[in-house]
Amino acid sequence: MMAQVIAGSGGGIYTLSQDDRECERCFAQDGMVYDLKAIGIQIVESECSVGHSQILNYLKKAEDVLGIEFQCEPDSEVSLIPDPPSHTTQDSANCTGGNSVLGTNDPGSSCQRNLEIIHIGAAWRAARSAGRELKDVVLAISDTGVDMTHPDLVNQFWRNPADNSIGYNFITNTTNVTDGEGHGTHCAGNAAAQTNNSIGIAGVANINGSVPHVKLMILKFLSDTGSGSISDEMRALNFAVENGATVSSHSYGSVSTNEVERTGFKNAAAAGHVAVTAAGNRGNNLDDSPFYPCSFAKDFTPMLCVAASKTDPVGHVSMADFSSAGSATKIVAPGVDIYSTIPGGSYDYKSGTSMSTPTAAGVAALLATLGLKGQDITNTIINSRTAGIDNPFGLSDIGEVDALKAVQQALRQVSSRYFRGE
């Protein structure tokens, strides 16, 4: 704490006001400050009489004395991205028989055309035939939680070595990450459901026919009504980075910017963490109407901002009508009628950039199992995309994820490093 009378670096004298003293009293309370060291920010939870402006004034005085730059903002809300205005829902009763293109025996994979579109089956085969030893990778799903007993997910969870939990609930401060909304469960299955277990669907991240090397870390910071706070979002991001998640999936956002949130994602990116974020479903040009955290990807690599694509019956790919996009958006992934896991051990279709995001995150995690890290993962996904996606925003530097080409590029990179002795 600062002394009651402080000499500034320029020789000035600062006298602490009554508000300053109240700030010091608040800061001295146990549990008052969450120090999120992995992403370089602190969360101040105060039930004291001081507010944001008083805390900011106090920190400005400390900034002059200590030579440290502070950012201080009040907490604000983020939420699930509203569903697209309309989409055609297929009949899940027809999802039987597996998928010969993917090489999967999961009956629901017959309805996963989205995986065929990104060539994930061929990507799995290319990775498997390379004969490389795969690395274990953690993929964090920062969302509404998960159906912790879903038969297609129960074997896919990361386990915390400290307590065997599968993640954390930042709303209740417990390890119960049960999903009462369904959104997080759908995202988790899309990214990394168990593949070739003769039930349900196939997930993107784990190579078909191999032991799953990508495990799901479940970070619940969005409530069962789909709302959450930036402070809990940052606690979740810090948990992911601190506990070794290589990739994280973020299918939510806000139209309001927050410099503390920006700093958190900036520092996570600087640490090599790949945050994959959703562009939103408002059909906006993000250069005119930014959406966060996705719009941060314009400035911070290796972040990715993902838009949604649709494919017509003859295979023509274009941006989905509802999808937002902008110069921060370098890739699209299938986002219309995506079949995945939902609570209660069941499956259903959902549409939106919320579904495109875990698809791209799953591909990123797959590349990490091959040995790529950080910016190399992002660069490989972007450089291997299928270019020339029709879109209403006049964007030319954008294309659809191609998992096969991404894996092929990744294998060339890791082979080159091997021969150079890296």
Confidence at residue 67, expressed as pLDDT on a 0 to 100 scale: 73
CATH of the domain at 356: 3.40.50.200
Buried b (16+ CB within 10 A) or exposed e, 343-369: bebebbbbbbbbbbbbbbbbbbbbbbb
- Give the residue-averaged pLDDT of 85-95: 69
Place 1 in a pLDDT band, splitting at 50, 70 and 90: very low
**Total number of domains constituting the chain:** 2
Catalytic residue among 354, 356, 384, 402: 354
Q: How confident is the model over 99-149, as pLDDT tens digits?
A: 999 999 999 999 999 999 999 999 999 999 998 899 999 999 999 999 999
- Look at the alpha carbons of 105, 107, 111, 115 in this order and tell me if their dihedral is positive or negative: negative
Q: Indicate whether 322 and 412 sit together in one domain.
A: yes
Confidence at residue 6, expressed as pLDDT on a 0 to 100 scale: 38
Confidence at residue 398, expressed as pLDDT on a 0 to 100 scale: 97
Q: Indicate whether 356 and 381 sit together in one domain.
A: yes
SS3 8: coil
Confidence at residue 86, expressed as pLDDT on a 0 to 100 scale: 54
Burial bucket for residue 401 (CB in 10 Å: 0-12, 13-18, 19+) = buried
Place 85 in a pLDDT band, splitting at 50, 70 and 90: low
Q: Indicate whether 105 and 47 sit together in one domain.
A: no
Q: How confident is the model over 21-57, as pLDDT tens digits?
A: 888 888 777 777 789 999 999 887 777 777 778 888 8
User: Is it the case that residue 9 has pLDDT exceeding 50?
Assistant: no
- Give the residue-averaged pLDDT of 221-230: 97
183 annotated active-site: yes
The domain boundary, picked from 49, 72, 95, lies at 72
Confidence at residue 5, expressed as pLDDT on a 0 to 100 scale: 37
User: Is it the case that residue 15 has pLDDT exceeding 70?
Assistant: yes
Confidence at residue 65, expressed as pLDDT on a 0 to 100 scale: 75
333 touches 306 (CB < 8 A): yes
Q: Indicate whether 179 and 289 sit together in one domain.
A: yes
Closest to 285 (Cα-Cα) out of 382, 357, 392:
392
Confidence at residue 126, expressed as pLDDT on a 0 to 100 scale: 96
User: Is it the case that residue 257 has pLDDT exceeding 50?
Assistant: yes
Q: Indicate whether 166 and 48 sit together in one domain.
A: no
87 annotated active-site: no
Amino acid type, 366: L
Confidence at residue 165, expressed as pLDDT on a 0 to 100 scale: 99
Q: Indicate whether 258 and 337 sit together in one domain.
A: yes
pTM confidence score: 0.92
Q: How confident is the model over 138-181, as pLDDT tens digits?
A: 999 999 999 999 999 999 999 999 999 999 999 999 999 999 99
The domain boundary, picked from 17, 41, 72, lies at 72
Q: Indicate whether 59 and 89 sit together in one domain.
A: no
The domain boundary, picked from 27, 46, 72, lies at 72
- Percentage above 70 pLDDT, the chain: 92
Place 209 in a pLDDT band, splitting at 50, 70 and 90: low
Confidence at residue 91, expressed as pLDDT on a 0 to 100 scale: 74
| Alpha-carbon span 132 to 15, nearest angstrom | 64
Q: Indicate whether 212 and 357 sit together in one domain.
A: yes
Amino acid type, 230: I
Q: Indicate whether 117 and 248 sit together in one domain.
A: yes
Least confident of 82-86, 189-193, 256-260, 329-333: 82-86
Buried b (16+ CB within 10 A) or exposed e, 113-134: bbbbbbbbbbbbbbbbeeebeb
> What would the two tokens of residue 119 be?
């060539």
Residue numbers of the domain that contains 59: 5-72
Confidence at residue 417, expressed as pLDDT on a 0 to 100 scale: 64
Q: Indicate whether 55 and 176 sit together in one domain.
A: no
Q: Indicate whether 298 and 153 sit together in one domain.
A: yes
Catalytic residue among 143, 147, 232, 402: 143
Q: Indicate whether 232 and 273 sit together in one domain.
A: yes
Give the chain's mean pLDDT: 91
143 annotated active-site: yes
Place 420 in a pLDDT band, splitting at 50, 70 and 90: very low
- Give the residue-averaged pLDDT of 336-344: 96
User: Bigger pLDDT: 357 or 83?
Assistant: 357
Confidence at residue 7, expressed as pLDDT on a 0 to 100 scale: 39
- Give the residue-averaged pLDDT of 261-266: 96
Which residues make Cβ contacts (< 8 Å) with residue 18, sequence separation at least 6? none
> What would the two tokens of residue 239 be?
């948990």
